[in-house]
Amino acid sequence: MTTRRELLKQMAWLSAGTIMMKDSFAFADVKNKKVGVQLYTVRDLIGKDAKGTIKQVAALGFSEVENFGYNGKYFGMNAAEYKTFLSDVGLKAASGHYMYGNFGNRQVPGTIVYGWEKAVEDAKAIGQDYMVVAYLMPNERKSIDDYKKIAEDLNKAGETCKKAGIQLCYHNHDFEFEMVNGQLPMDILTKQTDENLVKIELDLYWASRAGQDPIQFFNQHKGRVALWHVKDMDKTEKKNFTEVGNGVIDFATIFKNAKLSGMKHFFVEQDVCPGNPLDSIKQSIGHIQSSLVKYL
């Protein structure tokens, strides 16, 4: 007959075992957390040898990439060829950057205002989950009315994406947080777009440079900040780009609030590197894997 003491001991072992299993599952989840990189960081190397450079990116431990420069092809490859190549090197293109495209008389394919349907078709073909408006040219954002027209176009583009099973996002810099005609452009871009059609890729460097608190932004837009650009700001007065972990941005607190954000993917990016960009992103992924993914 089992005594009460033995029963309590068995329950204690079961409880400990359950905790250990939970810890084990949590660890497995951390190990399998995918770290992405925005390929714009290695743009100069890609210009010389696209396939060779992307292979080196994969070898550093990245699992996902965010494309840039789509012009009907991906770094000279059509959609089918690019998808096969990525699969062969163990990468997935989870997202891609695109332009709004109001370049006057110049029509650039694969932008919001020209050839968007083909861009969406190709994004679906390579398995992208997200398409992101990367940057607004100065001539595209002269007034609040410009931003209102952009918001209207984003909703339409988001509908096209939705039909293909893709989510549209908008990527910020610092100018969206500077007053224009007495209003904040980011308020226009968030309030006048459907939150289900247009989500946010928050660039943590540019938001911080603009004096924004990422956690406060997450609270204002709960669940809408689906993507992050993880890049750091150095400790100098110039606030230059630097490798993740070298600067002043409190990434630990940010990563702890991933659920509040609604973050699904994040991408290392460093617009300017002091030397070989592969060395910079190697340092960044090392810090992320050793110090940050544990919070996810």
| Tokens (6 digits) for 173 | 């810099």
> Which 3 state secondary structure label does DSSP give 259?
helix
Q: Report d(CA 133, CA 169) in Å as an integer.
A: 6
Assign a CATH topology to domain 34-295: TIM Barrel (3.20.20)
pLDDT of residue 105: 77
So where are the chain's domains? Answer: 1-32, 34-295
| Tokens (6 digits) for 225 | 């900040």
DSSP code per residue over 138-189: GGG-SSHHHHHHHHHHHHHHHHHHHHTT-EEEEE--SGGGS-BTTB-HHHHH
pLDDT of residue 3: 46
pLDDT of residue 31: 38
pLDDT of residue 94: 98
pLDDT of residue 4: 44
Mean pLDDT by 10 residues, the chain (296 residues): 46 42 37 85 98 98 98 97 98 98 87 97 98 97 97 98 98 98 97 98 98 98 98 98 98 98 98 98 98 97
pLDDT of residue 167: 98
